[in-house]
């Protein structure tokens, strides 16, 4: 169309001839030349997404997937509707249909619907090239210094879980509304500490059972050489890790007297001065991988534990099929024996290779951090477009990409915030050589600061307790004083009331006597009505007075 317009301006030929030569519509060319519509106007059937907008949606989908915020089917459809919301489109009020989505996926073979693996945002933020580079700098320094043999490079980690385990899929009648699985009531946490070497060797496992007492029979039918301990929550602690480290030293010293490298994660049970000093004194170099990177840098997590847990769940199913009773702590060792023995040398060695530990290769790990998918170069719209149509497509692509990125990020982050409340956790960190003298000095300083802080807190508690007791004493004294004041007030009120009653009684008696004397002076009391004896009892005996009624009152016999 642009060429036809330029040809008309240059040659001045007829619109019909130029339209026929360039293969464009006569009316479309005429309307643009006459100014009825804009030269770059798009006419014809109302479309959904323009080519640039669809390409923007493709690239945004890829980029969001690479950062762990992949778009769902509905989110893609909502994004498409958002792009065309400011102009006429063929989507309708409900937006793109499922058919449009299937055709969209068909037009772009580089895209596919996948079930994502769960990976927290903290792990993603920690798995950066900078963090990995520092980790391998420390690893390479240790290897160059001590020249470890393959059998002298170890990895240790614990796997914790509930006796119940995770349910596996089972066969059931088609159409069943409910499928149940028999299991133990509740659940008891049990931790299993496992250590493996780069040549495929396994150290006997270390069981940590939940409870207070180490009962006999817990290690019945356990793997040979297994050890056990109990802890109230069933989790690893600093004391238990130090105890396990002693057993580890005894195990490796029976095989070699050389320096040994032990790679572990940065769990708080590892980072303490006692552990660091013991490891250094016994020729064990402790390398702590960066926080939240065990899914990339820990051999056990990469290639061993997944298969072990699947085999363990299967053994639980077999146990339920043979026995009707619930699973107890006494069954854990036996259920673990088979899955532990099934861990192969090949799986262990591949874990060390995949994590770049043995042989040392940072490129293996850094390669995993690179984008897994990329848009083919020929599919991107070139910024050096020459024709008007190409420039239009590039403009649509640029604008659509910017708008779509902003909306997709906002929607996805909002969705994640609603599902997972933000927690204050350490995101970034470096690996740590725990047995390095510099690290030991830091730990010693931190330990001293911790002791001083504890002493300070203890003094604060004692002062607070003393203040609390002093306030309690003052409160008791104040309470007692208030009781005395109240008692005095009540006593004074009682005295005043008593005095008032006495005065009132005297006044009443005086008035009655005056009345009686008046009657006595007027005439005989024989005609006087009978008077209750109780009235005179109150009058003369309850009222403190020495005055007596007239003698003629008693002689008359009126008191009955």
Which residue from 155, 221, 159 is spatially nearest to 190, judged by alpha carbons?
A: 159
Q: Is the pLDDT of residue 506 over 70?
A: yes
Q: Is the pLDDT of residue 427 over 60?
A: no
CA angle 462, 468, 471 (to 5 degrees): 140
Question: With bands split at pLDDT 50, 70 and 90, how would you rate the model's confidence at 67?
Answer: low
Instruction: Assign 3-class secondary structure to 434-445.
Output: CCCHHHHHHHHH
Residues 327, 313: Cα–Cα separation, whole Å: 12
Rounded to the nearest integer, the mean pLDDT of the chain is: 75
Residue 286: HSE in the Cβ half-sphere, 13 Å Cα cutoff: 32
pLDDT one-digit tens code per residue, 74-126: 888 888 887 777 766 677 777 788 888 888 888 888 888 877 655 555 555 56
The confidence score (pLDDT) of residue 261 equals 94
Tell whether pTM > 0.75: no
CB contact at 8 A, 204 and 244: no
What is the total residue count of the chain? 560
pLDDT one-digit tens code per residue, 214-255: 877 788 888 999 988 988 888 888 888 989 999 999 999 988
Top pLDDT among 351 and 13 is at 351
From residue 88, how far is each of 92, 100, 116, 367 by CA, in Å? 9, 17, 35, 45
Q: Give the residue-averaged pLDDT of 487-493.
A: 86
Top pLDDT among 414 and 259 is at 259
Q: Could you give the residue range(s) of every CATH 3.30.420.10 domain in the chain?
A: 128-168+185-368
Q: Is the pLDDT of residue 354 over 60?
A: yes
CATH topology assigned to domain 128-168+185-368:
Nucleotidyltransferase; domain 5 (3.30.420)
CB contact at 8 A, 41 and 51: no
CB contact at 8 A, 88 and 46: yes
pLDDT one-digit tens code per residue, 272-301: 788 888 888 999 998 988 888 888 899 999
The confidence score (pLDDT) of residue 376 equals 35
């Amino acid at each position: 169309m642009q060429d036809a317009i330029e040809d008309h301006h240059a040659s001045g030929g007829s619109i019909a001839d130029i339209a026929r030569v360039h293969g464009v519509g006569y009316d479309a060319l005429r309307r643009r030349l006459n100014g009825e519509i804009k030269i770059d106007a798009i006419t014809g059937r109302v479309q959904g997404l323009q080519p640039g907008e669809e390409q923007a949606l493709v690239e945004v989908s890829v980029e969001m997937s690479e950062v762990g915020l992949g778009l769902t089917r509905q989110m893609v459809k909502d994004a498409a509707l958002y792009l065309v919301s400011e102009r006429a489109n063929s989507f309708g009020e409900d937006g793109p249909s499922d058919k449009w989505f299937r055709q969209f996926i068909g037009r772009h073979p580089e895209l596919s619907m996948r079930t994502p693996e769960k990976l927290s945002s903290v792990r993603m933020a920690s798995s950066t090239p900078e963090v990995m580079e520092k980790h391998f700098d420390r690893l390479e320094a240790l290897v160059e210094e001590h020249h470890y043999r393959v059998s002298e490079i170890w990895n240790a980690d614990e796997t914790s879980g509930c006796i119940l385990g995770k349910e596996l899929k089972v066969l059931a009648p088609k159409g069943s509304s409910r499928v149940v699985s028999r299991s133990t009531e509740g659940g008891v946490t049990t931790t299993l500490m496992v250590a493996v070497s780069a040549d495929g060797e396994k150290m006997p496992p270390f069981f940590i059972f939940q409870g207070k007492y180490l009962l006999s029979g817990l290690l019945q039918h356990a793997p040979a050489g297994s050890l056990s301990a109990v802890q109230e929550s069933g989790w690893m602690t600093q004391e238990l890790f130090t105890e396990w480290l002693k057993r580890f030293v005894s195990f490796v010293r029976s095989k070699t007297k050389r320096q040994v490298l032990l790679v572990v994660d940065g769990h708080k049970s590892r980072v303490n001065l006692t552990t660091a000093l013991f490891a250094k004194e016994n020729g064990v170099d402790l390398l702590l991988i960066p926080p939240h990177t065990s899914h990339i840098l820990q051999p056990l997590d990469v290639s061993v534990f997944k298969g072990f847990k699947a085999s363990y769940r299967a053994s639980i199913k077999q146990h339920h099929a043979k026995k009707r009773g619930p699973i107890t702590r006494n069954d854990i060792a036996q259920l673990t024996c088979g899955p532990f023995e099934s861990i192969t040398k090949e799986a262990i060695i591949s874990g060390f290779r995949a994590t770049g530990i043995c042989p040392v290769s940072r490129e293996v790990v850094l390669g995993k951090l690179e984008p897994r998918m990329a848009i083919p170069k020929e599919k991107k719209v070139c910024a050096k477009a020459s024709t008007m149509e190409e420039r239009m497509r590039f403009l649509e692509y640029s604008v659509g990409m910017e708008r779509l990125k902003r909306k997709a990020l906002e929607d996805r982050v909002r969705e994640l915030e609603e599902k997972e409340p933000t927690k204050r956790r350490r995101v970034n960190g470096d690996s740590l050589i725990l047995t390095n003298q510099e690290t030991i000095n830091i730990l010693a300083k931190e330990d001293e600061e911790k002791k001083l802080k504890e002493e300070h807190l203890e003094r604060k508690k004692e002062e607070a307790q003393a203040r609390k007791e002093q306030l309690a004493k003052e409160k008791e004294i104040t309470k007692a004083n208030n009781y005395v004041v109240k008692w005095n007030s009540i006593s004074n009120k009682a005295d005043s009331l008593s005095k008032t009653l006495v005065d009132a009684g005297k006044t009443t008696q005086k008035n009655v006597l005056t009345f009686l004397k008046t009657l006595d002076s007027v005439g005989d009391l024989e005609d006087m009505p009978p008077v209750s004896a109780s009235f005179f009892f109150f009058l003369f005996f309850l009222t403190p007075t020495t005055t007596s009624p007239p003698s003629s009152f008693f002689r008359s016999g009126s008191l009955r």
